[in-house]
Structure 1
Amino acid sequence: MITAFAQELIDALRKSSSHRLTAIVEMARMPAPARQPFLDRHAPNAWPLLNQPRFSNLRDVGPWLVAAAPGSDLQGQYDFHRALTDATSDALCGWLISALPPSALAGHLAQATTAQAPDGHAYMLRFHTELAFPILHARRDLPGIGQLLAPIQSWWVIEPHPERKAWRHYAGYDQPQLAGIPLIQLDQACWDALAGDPLSYSLAEQLREPLAASGFAENCHGTRLGLVGKLLREARAEGLRRPGDLADYVTLLALHGPTLRGMDAWQAALTEACNDGLPLAQALKSRAFPNL
């Protein structure tokens, strides 16, 4: 049965036979033993976006652009989408539709992997992530960002959601003849926004295996980020401020939420932590599990 998102992709591709579907895959999110077999399977239709010599040590774990076989019809591109979705799980970061040939599109996107910060120095820019891309798309006034979007018709990026894998659509300019990106230049507001909340990302990664072991139904990067974000907002609304308490709140409720929320000991521990008493996990242990 075709998913609603797959149908959205197919409907967009059906409008023009000149447009092709590609995907950005973050190799670092794929188990190490699976990376080379994956690239071998998709060669020669996979290109590293960190193709500059200065990124040579990161190339194999960085983002790659992957495409269906040349000449694939609509069914072939749907089959590519389905197979890649099944094979990549957490590693799949984005879907793109463009009339620019995939190899040229990879070269175009590779030019966006470096940006100039407000301090005048150049840094690696992870433009394709669920944190960075929405921020950059909203700042098309900055040098280089409009050019990044120029040859793209449609771009879908993971949207953090606490219960399911969700994709959000962003429109490009659909001008394949305008490939090529000058150095992206970020102002202070954009730079600060790109810093995001490091705690969310570290917790989402730390929870990957525990959630898998607990049987969490949609254990992908986007759902973990959505769940962590939801619980962090709850924790701050409760009055928690210390980083350790925030992390404990998220971890404990992500793994044991239904049980803990109904316990008087949980509410008492939460009150103590909010009042700068014992750390949340210790306060809970002293009340609920004193013999452990």
Structure 2
Amino acid sequence: MTFVRFLAFLFLTAGILRGEDPELRRQLERSYGAWKQSLIAADLSGWQQSTAAHRQMLTRNLIVSQKQPFPHALFAIPMRPPEIATLRFLGSTVKGNTANLAYFGKVDLGLVDQSEIPESLLILKFVRESTGWKFDTTRLINLGSAPEIQAALKNGGRANFLDDPEFAPTGEVPAVPKACPVPDRIGVLQIASFGYATRVSVNGFDVATVQDNAEEHLVIGGLKNGDNPTTVEAKQLPVPEGAERSLEINAIILTGEQKRPTIQVFSWKAEKHPVPEFQKMMIFVNKITMRE
């Protein structure tokens, strides 16, 4: 079942949204408003006060891993935070110290002409810390390929999709990750994982967990010149009858050079299945693997 068909199923079997807490909504929207204003004003102190602690470090690590200056690069992103006042509020959900707000409408990120903005679902995620609710992150779902859902929501329809595990808050506040170093090289992992939920870490930093998909992920902390210890944890998933499992990992260096923008320094493909649940590997970055 595709994601849009899954969403349609949830919508068509929907009842009234639970989670109509006006005070919670006010608190969360104030938190989001403070976060949004801090980005517009390039106010680092305001951003730190309004952003969840783990998200601050994740953001810092992503910027540093691309050899960009922090916090300057934080405020140089062309995408602007969306204005929720122009969107239709759908509801709120809360679980423990986590909460979500959901909206429907044309979510303007400042990237395209307003006439080209698709109607989407916007989910804002929050965590509660000792000083109150802090903004965490957003999730944007384009409804361009789901016209029946668009029409129903525009006409006042409601959905209980927020209560589904795919959308609901987890109830768990993530731990704050450690700060990564400035990398020697900007690294990307290409992970194709089918029949497995594969978690990969490089130099002690989690890179990604990929499940029944092929994805590219920035290596947090980049790749060091020399040895880069890598761990691969692969949990078997059910596969359709007649389908085969496959697992492949490539490591790419982004050089920033026009003549040679990328260099593949590592490639591994499972030859036998199922693969061990835990494996240690090594990504070497040297004259041989760089082919200098």
Q: TM-score, normalised by structure 1?
A: 0.30
Higher strand content, 1 or 2: 2
Which structure's relative contact order is higher, taking Cα pairs within 8 Å and 6+ residues apart? Answer: 2
Between Structure 1 and Structure 2, the one with more helix by share is 1
Instruction: Give me the TM-score of the superposition, normalised by structure 2.
Output: 0.30
